[in-house]
Structures are given as structure tokens and as C-alpha cells.
Structure 1
């Protein structure tokens, strides 16, 4: 039985390619699609295993290519060779093959032959680190996550990134909290437009490279760049997982260590799981956690915060993450946990969550308030404070993930 081909090629090349497909005994055109919407609908309906698509087709981006791959199709894009940037963009979006428009029937048969050969190749494994520029070095990514209740995710992420930069490793601080990103305000940056939204748009279009990300993530201090987040929760659909997967890959080639401040939500919308193009509310957090080399799970140092952390760690384990995990209890104080606070929380987490090592950040309200008021880090405002020393020790541990340059 012939293999179905979905054709969404525009211009004179369409007729030549359709004729070449029909002349190939293994293939048959099952649908000629006018736009990306029709193409995706036909793909989801299982009408083909191969898609021939014009590079100029409206809406053809990383998300659309990912949806076609999810439906089991190989994607062949037809693009003019005199525009090499377009070929690079399509490759960055995940196209399996980019070919020039056929000028004659022989060239059309050659294109169809090359496209058909893809069907005999091993199944395509989605590459989470695909990008327009192959990284010369692979940096590391640390995701700072914590359950609901404001346990101090942003404070920890901001100060970790600053301490890592102070140790001589270049760092990028990314605000991926889609429930109310506050990184820009915490460190005193003018946030006219969220950098992460612009980076996600560029990644979706296949145009995000190291230079573009560097332009979107300004230098806040020596060795530290910041990619600001969305302060309005209703803008969360601007950060799809497919675009962020590409963003993390480019970030790894830009800096030694990327620190991502994530949101608290870990839930997936199972009702939408069949629709790969439907945005997921917690896509930004889940994407960062999946890409992370280390997940720093932070909870508040009080009975409610520890209980939330225990439940959150169970949810985190259900995700099946591959990265290492460090558990941090923040704002630890005797007034809320008893005369030996470190031992109290360590015992509770060992008993109820099976955690063998717990790192703590002592409560230092005065220093944190001063840093927040000044829009600076603890290293700048209270270098000798107990909270800053604890975070600096954690940063030194994370910095060992990458060698000093």
C-alpha cells in the first residue's frame, strides 16, 4: 500500500512534485493542503507519513514541525537556495530535509526520492538541544523550583546566579515563572519588555542563536546576564515548551551556567494532551525542569513550608527527571521549627520524603529586605550575612559542574 504524502507546496513546484510522487510506486498524495492548519489536521488524522512543505508557508515554525513529528511524519521543506538563512531557519525548526525547488521533472523525481529515503531511516528521536548554532561548549542548567507559598525561589535563583558569576563562571539568570515573574524588579532592572518572550518568539521562528540571545539578555554585572520574565500571568501562552527547549540549548552555548527561576506548578493539562499545539499552563516550568542538569528544590523553613515541600518532592519525583536534585530549606529559624531547626527539618524530610541531605539557608530578614529595597543582591548588600554565606556555599558546589575558564 502506498505511503501517504501531504503536500503543502506553493507555486509552480507543487505540480511537479505531485506528479513525481504519483510516479513513485511507493508514495501517493493523500491531501493537498492550502495552509498549516489544514496540514496539521490531515497529519493528526493519520493521512500521511511524509509532508512536503513550502518554506514560506504561513505559520510554519518550530511548534508546527514538532506537531508533524509527533503525528509520525517526516518533514521535507522546499526552500530557495539563494536564501541560505532560510535553510538554516528551517533546520533549526527541526525539518528533516531542506531541498531546492525542482526546476524540471528529473529534479522533482530526485527530491521525491530523497524524501522517500527518509521513511527507511530510523525513527526520528526529538532532539531537545536542536539549535541554529552548534554549541562550541555545553554549559549547565540549574532550575530553581519550589512549591506554592513563596518559599524564596526568586531570592535563591537571583543570588545563586550572582554568586556563580563572582566565582568566575559566566551565568545567565532566566525568569521562567509564568505566574508573576519578579526577577527584573528584584535586581533593579528596567523591564520594558520581557526578554524571555522575545527569545521564545525567535526560537519558535528558528532565528534564535547565541548572538540573538546575548542581545536579549543584558549584562547586569560582570559575568551575569539576565533574561527577564513576564510579570502578567495572562501572558503564559507566549512561552511554549518547544520554543523554550531550543532556548535552553542556546543558553548552554552562551554561558557556563544558566539559572532558571521557575513557577510552582507541575501539573499537566491531561485534557489537552492529545493536542500537541495547545499551550500548557505550566509548560515553562516543566520544560526547564526536564532540561536541568540540577534541580534545586526549595521550601520554606516552617511547618507549613516543610509539609508543602514533602508533597512537592513527591510530585517532582513523578516527573521522572534525569537531573540531580538538591533540597534547600530557606528562611530557617528556631522560632518556627524549635531549638535545633536544622535537625528538625532534616529529620522530617528524611522520614517523610526520603531525603538524605538537606541544605539550609538561615533566616536573615533584615539583609533580604535591604537587598530588595536597593534592588541588589545579598553579596552586595550583606556580604557577611548568614543567608549570603549559605547561598555562596551552594553556588560554589554548583560551580563545580563547569570548569573555570
Structure 2
């Protein structure tokens, strides 16, 4: 397929391709809507794109990938700006029109092979967009390929992405995310804290920030148009503490379409360049039932959460320390493992106290999680409601407002573990036993 509207050289290129072996032009699309509809029908396996195609963005390129269509950019040889824009939108194969039909054919073949090789790598299109075919009788689900991400180059992203997730019922995801990010920053590690909760994040309120202009949504919009770079992301993420930047989230749930997965992929990639640790507060919901409501490849409401979990190097799963919280966590954890089977999990049992559990709550909770979920070596955070309430009232972190809080120690050690730093507090003197 071609999508080269307004290009004076389109007709000549199509005529050359018709005579070239190995490639057949099946449709000349007049606009982006025509292209996406044709791609969804399975008509072609690749498309030649122009940087001048109206409304072309990263989301459109991701939808093409979800339909199994490889994107190839075609630009005039001297138009460096057009090539830069296409690459910023996620079109990795770009060829000059002056190179001729043979070079264009080779570029198409290379792009199709690359798409086949990277299918299943994060973010998986199946997570970001609804799959209407799955709702039909006999519809087959595409198998996941969790190992594809392991083949990425080791120097592609220097920073580490940590997703903080938990089931419904407010187990304390935001409190854990904010505390872990702040403790990492206090260890001298440049850190970015992002609020990707599509049901209404509250990171801004916890830190006393304004949320009229959500930083993460603005960054995702800029990434969608190819205008986001590291300096622009730094301007959208204000410094709230030394070495701690914050990307505030959407204050209202109906604004979830602003957090497009294709844009978030680029935001996270640049955040990894900006900081050594990127902590993302995720939403709770992992449902993927949009194909029951849409007959097109519509973006999933939970696409931001699903994509964040797929991209994360570590998933910090938060469990509330009571009977209801443990039950919800065990059931939701099964869905998480099915969704991202290759995820590295670190479980935080939050608000540990004797009242809802009984004597020796840590031991009882550890036994229950090991028995019903096969989990060991969990992080237990004792209940300290007064300290967290005081921090919320003043819009400060736990370390600033209540440095001696009992809840701070376990989360500080977790932050040290995530950034690979030594933890002085874990070194304890051993008593000598009497001879």
C-alpha cells in the first residue's frame, strides 16, 4: 500500500514498483483513515508513508503494527526534517525516493522481516488495542512472546523502569510509589516518578502539586506527534526534591484517551535517558474486553497500564495486609502472571497490623501468600497511618515529614535494592553467643 498524498513523485514511484519484482502495489490510500481501514482488512503487508500524511502520529504507526503492516518511510533525498519526523513517530525504515524501485523494494522486505522478528516485543500491540476478531466464534488469540524483549540491546535504555501495581481496593499503590521514588532520589539516584493511573491518579495531590496540566498526558501528546525529546520531557517533569522529577497524571478518569500507549512507550524511553530509575504508579485494572464493545482496533482503556507492565523491568505488586486484600491480590496476581508471564515481581505487603490478621501478622501473611500464590521473600510494611496522613496533609514525602516512621525502613531498603545501592541499615551487629 502507499500513503503518499500530495507527493509529485508518487505516480512515478508506483509505476516503477509495478514493474519491479517482489512487490505489488495493492492500494493507493488517499488519507490516514483510508490507510488504517485498508490495513485492518489485511489487504497488504507493508505501506509506504510520507512525512506529509495528515494526522500521522505514533498511535497510527502502532495501529499499523497491530494490523501486521510494516511501515516504510519514503522521503526526498535532501529532506532531513521529513526523515527525522518519521523516525520520531516510530518508522524505523526510511528510504530516499531517488534511490529507485530496487532500493524501495529492499526497504519493504527489510521492514516486513523486522516486524515479524519483533512481534511480541513491548509494547505488544495486542495489549494496547482491542482485537475484535477474538470476540468472534473460533477467534484465535495471538500467542505471546515474552522472551522477545530479552533480545534488546543492553545499552538501549540505561535507566530502569519500575511499575507499581496492585488490585482494586486501594492497597496503597501511590503511597508505595511515592515513597520508593523519594527514597531512591535521597540515595543520590536521579529518579522520575510518573502517574499513569487512568482512573484518576493522585500523585500530584500527595506531593502538593497542581494537576491542571498533567505532565504525563502532555508528554504523551508530544510523543505522538514526534515533538518530544529529553529536554522537552525535563521541562514537563518539575523537580520536587533534589534528583526527583514528577510527571503528574490525569485528574479525571474520562481523560484516559490522552494516555495513548504508543506515546507512553516513547515517554518511558526518554525518561530512562533522563533518570536512572523511573517509577510509574499504574492503575489497578487489567481487563481486555474492549473487543466486546468495538468492531475496530480501538485503543484499550487499560492500554496505559498494560503497556507499562509489559515494558517494566520490575513490577512492584502491592497487597493490602488483611483477609479481603490478600484474597483480591491472589486472584489479581494470577491475571498479572497470565498477562506478563516474564515479569520480575517484587511483592509489598502494605499496612501490616495485628488487628485484622492476629498475632505475628508477618508470619501469617507470609504463610498465606506462599501457600496460595507461591510467593516468598515479600516486603512487609507496617501500618503507620499517622505518618502518611501527616505527609499527605503537608504535601511532603514520608522521609521529609516523618523520617523515623516504621513504614519507611522496608520501603527504603526496597528502593536500595531497585537501584542496586548498598543499604547501610541492613548491617546489624551480631551478638556473640556465650561459649
Deviation at 1:372, TM superposition (A): 0.4
- Output one character per residue of 1:323-350: Cα deviation in whole Å (capped at 9) or x when no partner: 3111111111111211211111111111
Q: Secondary structure at the match of 2:356?
A: helix
Map of 1:89 onto structure 2: 85
1:342 is aligned to 362
Could you state the TM-score of these two structures normalised by the residue count of structure 2? 0.84
Matched, 1:112 2:104: yes
Compute the displacement of 1:322 (Å): 2.3
3-state DSSP class of the match of 1:147?
coil
TM-aligned CA distance change 1:230 to 1:257, over 3 Å: same
Residues of 2 paired with 1:340 and 1:7: CA distance?
66
Quote the RMSD (CA, aligned, Å). 2.5
Q: Is 1:125 equivalent to 2:145 in the alignment? A: no
Aligned partner of 1:47 in structure 2 is 43
1:269 positional shift: 2.2
- 3-state SS, counterpart of residue 361 of structure 1: strand
Aligned ranges 1:265-304 → 2 under 5 Å? 265-269=285-289, 271=291, 277-304=297-324
Equivalent residue number for residue 231 of structure 2 = 211
CA distance in 2, matches of 1:203, 1:304: 40
Preserved CA contact (<8 Å) 1:334 1:340: yes
| Contact 2:290/2:300, CA 8 A, preserved across alignment | no
Alignment partners' CA distance in 1, 2:112 and 2:351: 57
CA distance in 1, matches of 2:294, 2:155: 33
Task: After superposition, give the CA deviation of every residue in 1:192-227 in whole Å (9 maximum; x if it has no partner).
Answer: 300111111122222322112111111111010000
Instruction: Determine if contact 1:63/1:277 at 8 Å carries over to the other structure.
Output: no
Residue in structure 1 matched with residue 173 of structure 2 by the alignment: 153
Q: What is the CA deviation profile of residues 274-321 of structure 1, one whole-angstrom value per residue up to 9, with x for unaligned ones?
A: 978411011111111111111111111121111111112111111134
Q: Which residue of 2 aligns with 1:141?
A: 161
Question: Structure 1 residues 74, 302: CA separation in 2 closer, same or farther (over 3 Å shift)?
Answer: closer
Aligned residues: 392
Q: Which residue of 2 aligns with 1:31?
A: 27
Specify whether residues 168 and 89 from structure 1 end up closer, same or farther in structure 2 by C-alpha distance, changes over 3 A only. Answer: same
Structure 2 alignment gaps of length 5 or more: 124-148, 423-435
Equivalent-residue separation in structure 2 for 1:93 and 1:272 (angstroms) = 30
Correspondence for 2:262: 242
Q: Deviations over 1:144-202 (max 9, x none)?
A: 11111111100110011000000111100000011111001100112230011111112
Which secondary structure does the structure 2 equivalent of 1:322 belong to? Answer: coil
Correspondence for 2:374: 354
2:309 and 2:340 in contact (8 A); partners too? no
Secondary structure, aligned partner of 1:143: strand
Residue 98 of structure 1 is matched in structure 2 by 94
Question: Per-residue displacement from partner, 1:357-398 (whole Å, max 9, x unpaired)?
Answer: 221111111111100000001101110110112221221221
1:263 alignment counterpart = 283
